[in-house]
Structures are given as C-alpha cells and as structure tokens.
Structure 1
Amino acid sequence: MTRRQGRRDRDHVVLEFDTVEPDDAHPPAAAPAEESRVAARAGRRRVRWWLAGLVVVGVVGAMAAADRWHERSVEDRLADSEGGVTSLGPAPSVLWTTDGVGDVAMQRWDETTLLVGTEVVAIDPGTGEERWTARLGKEPACGSPTTVDGSWTRTLTCVSTVDGDATATVLDDRGRTLGERTFEDVAGVAAVAGDGVVAEIRRVDGPGSITVPRVSVDGATRGLATVRAVEVTIRDVRAGEALAVTRVDPTPQDQACPGETTAAPGVEDDGRVLVLADCGLDAYLSPTGVRLDDPEVPGDSVVALGDGTSQRRASAGSWGAVVDADGAEVWRPEGEVLRPVASDGASRDVVLVREPSGVVKAFDGSHRELWSRTVSGATLLVQASGTVVMSGPTSIVALDLDDGDEVWRLPMRADTFVAGGLTDGEHAIVRTATSNGGPPTNGRLAALRLESGSADWTVPIEGDAVLTAVDGAVLLLVDGALERLG
C-alpha cells in the first residue's frame, strides 16, 4: 500500500494601517492644559484608526470565515450525496493501492469503506489504511447501515448462513460485536435498513396455502405442489424482540414450479426493500415489514427512490404510485421517477419523471410541473448546480434544471455505452466503456464541465472495475485490488 498526501494552505490576508503622527521635532508651544488636550485628541485619533483597522480586518476575516464555511458546507453536502466527490484534482491519478483484497463486495458506511468477503474489513477511504477486521463465519452478507430515510446508523448487521441455519451479528463502528443471534430452520434471514434489525422468514401452516403444478428435474410437469404462506418477522438482533410481523399469502399462478422452495429473501437498494420472489410468492416489503406492492396486482414490483419512498411498477412495465415507508400513496406520476446516479444534494426538491412517450417532465416539491422535454432513452446521470445530465443510446445531453432548455450535447459511438457517473458540483464525471458482445473494455472517466460539456480531463480505468464514491473519495475495485483516485 502506498500513500500520498497533499495539503493546500489557505491564504491569509493581513491589512496594516499606518497613522501619520505630528512632527515632534517642531512641536507648537502650548500651555500644559493645551498640551493635554492635544495629547487627548491624538490618542482619540489613534484609537479611531486602530478601531477602523480592526473593523476592516474583522470584516475581511468574517468574509474569509464565511467562504470557508460555505466551502466546507458544499464539501459536506457532496460527501453525503450519492456519487458526490470532493477530492479529484485536475489530472487524477492513483493515490494509493491495497492489494490482495480478494473477491469482495464493496459498500459504504458513512466515512468508511467496507470490503465484505470471507471477513468484513473496514478501510479508511482517505489513506487506504485498515481500521478493523471482523471474522463472522462463512461469507457474511451485510446490510447497509442506514435507516429507511437514508441516514447513517452506528451499527452494521451481517448475516452468515450455514446448512439452513443463519447467524446475525451486530457490529459497532470499531468492528466490535454488540450482539449475535442464531436462527434455526428458517427459510431465510436478511439484514435490512435499521439499527441492528433483520427480517426473519418462515413458512407457516394454515389457511392461505395453494397448490401449483409441480415440474420435475427432467422438466416434465408431474402432479401438484402445496405452497404455504410466509411469515416475515422484523426482529431486533440484540434484544430478540419482534418489532413487526407480516403474513404473506401465496399468489395463485399457472406457471409450474419445483414446489415449495426456500423462500429465501432478497434485499434491494441497501436494504430499503425486502423482496420475496419464490414459487407462489411475490411480495415487496419495507424494512419495518409494511407491504409496499399492491397485493391485488399479481406480478407488480417496487423500486426504492432513495428518500424513504418507493414507486410501484406493473408486470407490463407501466409505472404506478409513489408510496412512503408505510405504504401510503404520496403521489401518482404518469411515468418513471428518475433517480440520479450522482448528485450534489442541492436540488433534491426537483424530481424528473420519464413518461412512456419519451417525454421527461420536471416537478417541484409540491409535484407541480415545471417543464417538459422529449429525451430519447434517458438515464439520469448527474443532477448538480442547476443542471441535469442524461445519457441515451447515441448521446449525452445536459439540460437546464430551471426550464429544461438544452445546454449541450455530446454524440457517442455506437459501441460505446455509459456505465456510471459522479459529480464534484462543477463536472459530470462520466464513466464510459465499449463492448462488442463481450466484457466491457476501453473504460475511462471524463470530467465534463456542466456549463459547456468540454472535458477538463480524461483518465483510463479497467472496463470491469467497480467504481464508487465514499465520503467524497473515488474508489476503484479491480483485479483484487482497491485503489483511490485523487
């Protein structure tokens, strides 16, 4: 591991004021009383000059402090935003590399990078130094340490499963074990968003069971299988308390399946959506156990929007209502709510919706339409500094967030695709690669100016590298090594 650190000293402005004193070589004759009055006036004059200098220095100091506060607040907002970066220079290079990290999943925990493989390793994104390591058993899966609305928790919950038994472990931000619980004979256990909670899934007997056609190993349909309901318990790992219990009845279906299987849960969007998709099961729940999809609409799904709300989607691909964490309808847009890949966090009240016709509409915080524009096949890459940058099959286009007017457009080659984006508030840092049916190649990062689209710099990266932003730092996971660009 190599480390390179840089430091930029802040400029200090010192203002000096000189007062012109009377000519002491030829003082005017004065009576003692007059001399005292002259001395008093000179003293008051010096005080006034001194106070004036102090006021000017104070104003300049206050302005400098305000500038530093504004800069710090912008950096904090970027570091907290999805895809926000603060540490890229004019020609980014690798600042440090940690080799031998193996086959791991990379995720963020506030100001820490987590590498989850056969063990959980916490890395300082600024230096690459290891903060702590936790050994939790075979291939743990860790939930995102966030609440439903996306704020960070101070605990991390990980689940390891061996031979049908699951063990959930709660760690603090130093890697110390705060609690542990084993679940036997369960259909599945998943760490969901929250402070030390898991979703415990068990098959239950009773009313609600259905029969479905059974398909055998050779693919032939043979007889019927009984599919039982599922009980989902949101449980506090340390206290053992059941916080919520939700029953999910099977969904009638014509398609054959192997019969009752594990009902192992899936987790989407950092644990904010719990997915039950199995033989005869189709349900989407919040981390508190609330049903988010519509039980009366078979095959529908739910997509989390990152702010504690989710949007329903029908099996045919049409989009429905936006619901909160309690499943209550918030509003009903006529299309898909676009979630930016990267944002500076300054314009979260403006929401973009893509309608089936290809029209993109902007709405304010009260869901009033601001503007509309046709954008072909648009993915919302960056929303920052009053600009939105979207990618389509043939070009990257920037629109003014206030009125939807096109700011600039860059064409792309037919074999090039956009694979992600970051932002420092001044640039859309776009990741592109090429593919001819095989693995992505010719990967690169390009910093495109938000106001013009001109590239300030371009750096090559591996086509299959995992790229993320953690606490404002840009990290790459590639070929068993973790790198930081800066």
Structure 2
Amino acid sequence: MGRRRGAPEGAFTFDLVPDGSEAGREPASQEAADPGESAGAVPGPASGARRRWSGRPRRVRWVGVLGLVGVLAAVVLVDGAADRWRGDDLRAAAGGVTDLSGPPFEAWSLNEDIGGLGLSGGLIAMQGEVVAVHRHDELVGIDLATGRPRWTVQLDDADGSCGPGMAVWGDTIDVRPAELVVCVAQEIDGEAHVTVVEDDGSVLVRRTVEGDHDLVVPGPRGTVVSATWVGDPEDVDVDLRGDPLTNLTVIGEIDDGYDLELSAADAVTGEERWVTTVPFGQVRDRTQCVSWDVGGRNARVDRRATLDHAVGRELIGVAGCGILAYLTPEGKRLDVPDVATDDDDVVRRVRPLADGGYVVSSGVWNRPALEHDVLGADGERLYSVEGRVLDPLSTVGGDADELLVAFAARTIALDRAGEELWQADINAERLLARTDDVAVVLDSRDRVVGLGREDGAVRWVRDDLVVQYSALAGGGRSGELEAAFTDGTVVAVVVPTYTGERVLARWSAVDAATGEDLWSTELSSDGWGLDLAAAGHLLRWSPRGLTGYATGS
C-alpha cells in the first residue's frame, strides 16, 4: 500500500512588487482601497486537509473542540508596542476588552460575496491593531477600529493555512500573542511551502520543507510542525459492514498500526527544534482507521486514513488510528491516562489554562465527574482533582493564585499546590469572568453569580440574564450562553434569542462588583458564529464574514 499523502492543497506563496525596501525582504502593497468601498472578506469554512475528515462519527472527545476547529478561522495575535499596563494586560487576556462602559455597536462589516474562498479563512490580529483577513488569493490588513484596509498582499493560490491560529479547547478560545505569522501550503505530492509574514505584511522568507511528510502545518512560536506515519505494522483481520454513509461498523480488532513521528522546525531557518515518535496504542474509535472515497459511498480499512490536529500557541494535539498525543511547544508529550471501561464514549483530552499550564481530563462522557491532572507551564504534574475544572472565558490578565473546581454541587478554590482555599455553596457550570476581586460564574440554575475571590462569599446573584433563552427551552434550564467579556469593572454576557425569523444576540452588562445593570442591547446574528476579543477589540466571526464592534459610552 502506497504512502497516503497530505491534503490536496495548492502552492501558497506571496507575489509582491518590490518598492526598494530592505534587501531579502518583500514588502506588502500599501495601496488602501477607496474608503467609500466595502472591503469584502469571507473567512473560509475549513482547510483542505480537514474536508477529508468531515462527516465521520467521533466517539472519543479527543480535544474538546466541540466540532468547531474544522471550520474556524485561524486567529493569531501579534504583540504590539506597550502602552498603558492595564490596556496591555486586557489586550492579551482571554476575553479582555479595553472599554465596556457602553454597549457595542457595529462599526464595520466585511461580508461581501466574492468568487472563491481562501480555505484557511485566516483571521489574524496583528501589531498595530490590524486584523489580517485571508480571502481568496490575497491577505488584507484591516484596521480593527475602522475596518479600512491598511495593506494587501497578493497570494499565488487561495489554498493554505496560517497560524498557529485560534484553537478552541473546550469552552476557552485560545487567542494569544505570537511574534510571526506562518503560512503553509501542502501540495498533492506532499511537498510543502512555507511563507513567514511580519507584522506589516512583509514576507520575511519563503522556503520548501525538506523531507516527505503526511502533514505539515503552522506550529506555535514561529515553527512548522510536521507529522509522518512510520513503521511496518502487521496486517489486521477486520471487516467493514453496513452502509458507509449511515451505519458503517468495523468488525474485528485493530491491534497493530503505524507510529507517528512529529517534529517542529524553525519556520524561518528550517532548523529542527525537536522530534518525537508517538507509538501506536489502543484504538478507541475504529472509524479513525477507515477511509472513504470522495462521495462517501465506498470505505476501506486504512490505518493512515485520519490525522486530526489542533494547534494553538501553547498546545499541539494530534489524533488518528491508535494515536492520541498532546505536546507542549517545546515537544514535551503530556501523558493522557487511559480509561478502564468498555464504554467507547470516553473523554481523554488536554487543554491549556488561561493562566498558563494545562489540565488533563479523563473519564466516561456524561458521568458525574471526570478526573483531572493539573500541570504547570512546563508540563509537570502539580496535583489531581475530581469534578469540573472552571477556566475563565474572560479575564483582566495576569496570573491567578487560585483554580476553581465544581464538585458535589459546590464551587471550590484551590491554590497552586492543590490545597483548598474556600468553598461556596454554588453549583457552578462555567466561569464567565474573573476580575481582580470577583469570579463571575453561571450556575446549574441558570443564575449568574458573583463570588469574592478572597473568600468565596456570594457578592450578588442575577437570575434574569439568560431568561430569554431559557424560556425557549420549555421552562427548563438551557445553560445557553455564547460568550462573556470583561474590562475589569464591567462583565458583559452574550445570550442568543429568537424573534420570529430573526436570530439576535442579547448583550447584558453588569457591574462586576455589585451585579447592577449597566446596559443591554441586541445585535443581529446569523445564528452561527463566534464573538471574540482580539487585541482588546470585539469581533464577530461567522462563515459569511467578519464584523467589528465599537464600544464605550
């Protein structure tokens, strides 16, 4: 059986016109579009590689991506020059917005229909508060405040991916600073081309990746990550039964398969930073060992069929036939315990924490509690805990001294050594925001509750902030809350609501210290998308476009 090549992606290089700039560095075009014209951009729904995996059953929740990673735009934040320390912290923080004193309103929108989409759908917040959007055959630098183009880079091909990008690990959207934007295009024959872009849209280097790899993608911290199936496994006695489109069943044990070699190289120089081999292990999801033809009507056993991946600034995750591995940017593999059960619906995943470090979770899906190992930023185990680890959707930046865990209908704060600091008689489901003094949680009764970070005391309770959606759930609990943001004094929550044929997003803001109403507004929504904080600004991404919100009184 011949080697299965990488995704059918075309060459992805920048075609630029020199303007006498520094030798060896290609400048971006600085010709802005007419201010009266709308700069159309439609983020693409998926990478070429991920299209091969769509529609397949997934029983093992291997990364907690919740079905989004395959269709999300890549997001990278590139550090800008420092200004006020508080503003800097908020710009770099998860869900941090520099000013929430007034309700958001649409400042600009890029939703023009264009012929052909850049499948990477690159959405990259860069230094100087410019968001770079990959559309079709160009990369456009859009001013985050005004939506006007700052620069344009022509691309030779629409296919490719840029990163390390945005990764969704559970509830937390990992949008962190990065120094360089790395773009990779992998051809049908496996050859991969790398382009490294600086913060002003200039191309720093273009090169071809050496060697033969099954997958080449942008990695964290200015790297390129490559994956290659290796080994010579024994044949397996396996049959496929049922309709490949609806009820395919794999009969027999897959007890041998390929190992996976992973490596990371400097994106600019190509110098290898690390290499490791993930050995073939237990197969929890046998459909990961099956390949389908383009129409999906024919299937065959192929132990190199699937190579799912998710890459963020602090974590690399890969999964395939008998393969499950998470690694730090330095190449340290994070151990994921096996689960002693015959139930195929198993959770084995790792996610980065907003304050640094990782949490490794394992157990059976929908059981009362999972087991978690809390790791430091170096990947070393700190302590273990049972329950539900609450990582904040939004913070004001900086490091927290406590980790919140929900267990036995109580919220518990643990210090860095895993020792209990306090308990609160609140059954928290999600940690919406963390300010200097207050942790704002959503509890199992759809109440938004402010807890004092010092002692866990209940500062305030609001039972009306998600009532619009709860009413649609037949009077029962919905838990439906799309996003939360903070500027340190204000906490804003976003809840979907439906009025006839329209889908709206209801934004409600309260004082973080008291829970008092500050403002509310309703914004149009297509019903599917993500509200994001990028460099202290609010953005709305959907498959149809990108919208920038202005805030403040």
Instruction: Provide TM-score, normalisation by structure 1.
Output: 0.74
Amino acid at match of 2:531: L
CA distance in 2: counterparts of 1:365 and 1:255, whole angstroms: 35
Q: C-alpha displacement at 1:421, in angstroms?
A: 0.6
Other-structure match for 1:477:
541
Amino acid at match of 2:374: V
Change in 2 beyond 3 A, CA 1:474/1:205: same
Per-residue Cα deviation, 1:51-83 (whole angstroms, up to 9, x for no partner): xxxxxxxxxxxxxxxxxxxx9332232222211
Change in 2 beyond 3 A, CA 1:227/1:244: same
Q: Quick one: which of 429, 437, 440 aligns to 1:389?
A: 440
Other-structure match for 1:14:
none
* Aligned positions of 1:106-117 closer than 5 A: 106-109=123-126, 111-117=129-135
Q: Is the Cα–Cα contact under 8 Å of residues 212 and 253 in structure 1 kept in the other structure?
A: no
CA distance in 1: counterparts of 2:163 and 2:281, whole angstroms: 28
Q: Which secondary structure state, in structure 2, belongs to the residue aligned with residue 403 of structure 1? A: coil
Other-structure match for 1:468:
532
Q: Quick one: which of 173, 193, 218 aligns to 1:191?
A: 218
Per-residue Cα deviation, 1:451-485 (whole angstroms, up to 9, x for no partner): 22222111212243532122222222354242222
Q: C-alpha displacement at 1:190, in angstroms?
A: 2.2
Change in 2 beyond 3 A, CA 1:477/1:237: closer
Q: C-alpha displacement at 1:239, in angstroms?
A: 1.9
Q: C-alpha displacement at 1:336, in angstroms?
A: 3.7
* Aligned positions of 1:290-329 closer than 5 A: 290-294=332-336, 300-316=348-364, 318-329=370-381
Other-structure match for 2:41:
none
Q: Is the Cα–Cα contact under 8 Å of residues 411 and 428 in structure 2 kept in the other structure?
A: no
* Aligned positions of 1:54-65 closer than 5 A: none
Q: Is the Cα–Cα contact under 8 Å of residues 340 and 383 in structure 1 kept in the other structure?
A: yes
CA distance in 2: counterparts of 1:159 and 1:212, whole angstroms: 38
Q: Which secondary structure state, in structure 2, belongs to the residue aligned with residue 76 of structure 1? A: helix
Other-structure match for 2:397:
345
Verify: 1:241 aligned to 2:271, yes or no: yes
Q: Quick one: which of 114, 134, 139 aligns to 2:159?
A: 139
Q: Is the Cα–Cα contact under 8 Å of residues 105 and 550 in structure 2 kept in the other structure?
A: yes
CA distance in 2: counterparts of 1:376 and 1:169, whole angstroms: 48
Q: Quick one: which of 302, 307, 310 aligns to 1:267?
A: 310
Verify: 1:203 aligned to 2:229, yes or no: yes
Q: C-alpha displacement at 1:151, in angstroms?
A: 6.8
Amino acid at match of 1:303: R
Change in 2 beyond 3 A, CA 1:471/1:238: closer
Q: Is the Cα–Cα contact under 8 Å of residues 231 and 259 in structure 2 kept in the other structure?
A: yes
* Aligned positions of 1:80-479 closer than 5 A: 80-100=92-112, 104=121, 106-109=123-126, 111-118=129-136, 119-134=138-153, 135=155, 137-144=157-164, 152-163=177-188, 165=190, 166-183=192-209, 185-195=212-222, 197-206=223-232, 211=236, 213-215=238-240, 218=244, 219=248, 221=250, 227-253=257-283, 256=286, 257-258=289-290, 259-268=302-311, 270-294=312-336, 300-316=348-364, 318-345=370-397, 348-355=400-407, 357-393=408-444, 394-411=446-463, 412-413=466-467, 414=470, 415=472, 417-434=480-497, 441-461=503-523, 462=525, 463-477=527-541, 479=544
Change in 2 beyond 3 A, CA 1:90/1:435: closer
Change in 2 beyond 3 A, CA 1:297/1:286: farther
Q: Is the Cα–Cα contact under 8 Å of residues 263 and 276 in structure 1 kept in the other structure?
A: no
Amino acid at match of 1:349: D
Change in 2 beyond 3 A, CA 1:244/1:136: farther
CA distance in 2: counterparts of 1:179 and 1:278, whole angstroms: 32
Amino acid at match of 1:480: G
Change in 2 beyond 3 A, CA 1:129/1:396: same
Change in 2 beyond 3 A, CA 1:177/1:378: same
Change in 2 beyond 3 A, CA 1:82/1:400: same
Verify: 1:76 aligned to 2:88, yes or no: yes
Q: Which secondary structure state, in structure 2, belongs to the residue aligned with residue 378 of structure 1? A: strand
Q: C-alpha displacement at 1:395, in angstroms?
A: 1.6
CA distance in 1: counterparts of 2:398 and 2:501, whole angstroms: 36
Q: Which secondary structure state, in structure 2, belongs to the residue aligned with residue 227 of structure 1? A: coil
Q: C-alpha displacement at 1:244, in angstroms?
A: 0.9
CA distance in 1: counterparts of 2:508 and 2:162, whole angstroms: 32
More displaced stretch, 221-230 vs 320-329:
221-230
CA distance in 1: counterparts of 2:235 and 2:427, whole angstroms: 44
Q: Which secondary structure state, in structure 2, belongs to the residue aligned with residue 82 of structure 1? A: coil
CA distance in 1: counterparts of 2:195 and 2:517, whole angstroms: 46
Q: C-alpha displacement at 1:380, in angstroms?
A: 0.6
Change in 2 beyond 3 A, CA 1:252/1:352: closer
Amino acid at match of 1:108: A
Q: Which secondary structure state, in structure 2, belongs to the residue aligned with residue 193 of structure 1? A: coil
More displaced stretch, 243-252 vs 259-268:
259-268
Change in 2 beyond 3 A, CA 1:364/1:93: same
CA distance in 2: counterparts of 1:440 and 1:214, whole angstroms: 48
Amino acid at match of 2:307: A
Per-residue Cα deviation, 1:297-351 (whole angstroms, up to 9, x for no partner): 6863211113441111114252321223543212323334321111112562232
Amino acid at match of 2:432: L
CA distance in 2: counterparts of 1:247 and 1:161, whole angstroms: 22
Q: C-alpha displacement at 1:241, in angstroms?
A: 1.9
CA distance in 2: counterparts of 1:347 and 1:224, whole angstroms: 47
Q: C-alpha displacement at 1:212, in angstroms?
A: 6.8
Change in 2 beyond 3 A, CA 1:83/1:150: closer
Amino acid at match of 1:112: V
Q: Which secondary structure state, in structure 1, belongs to the residue aligned with residue 89 of structure 2? A: helix
Q: Which secondary structure state, in structure 2, belongs to the residue aligned with residue 79 of structure 1? A: helix
Q: Is the Cα–Cα contact under 8 Å of residues 191 and 271 in structure 1 kept in the other structure?
A: no
Q: Which has the higher contact order (CA 8 A, sep 6+)?
A: 2
Q: Count matched residues.
A: 412
Amino acid at match of 1:123: I
Q: C-alpha displacement at 1:200, in angstroms?
A: 0.5
Q: Which secondary structure state, in structure 2, belongs to the residue aligned with residue 321 of structure 1? A: strand
Q: Which secondary structure state, in structure 2, belongs to the residue aligned with residue 343 of structure 1? A: coil
Q: Is the Cα–Cα contact under 8 Å of residues 432 and 440 in structure 2 kept in the other structure?
A: yes
Q: Which secondary structure state, in structure 1, belongs to the residue aligned with residue 264 of structure 2? A: strand
Change in 2 beyond 3 A, CA 1:379/1:210: farther
- Compare the two structures and name the one with the higher helix fraction: 1
Per-residue Cα deviation, 1:355-384 (whole angstroms, up to 9, x for no partner): 3x2321113445442211233352111101
Identity of aligned residues (%): 25
CA distance in 2: counterparts of 1:122 and 1:282, whole angstroms: 37
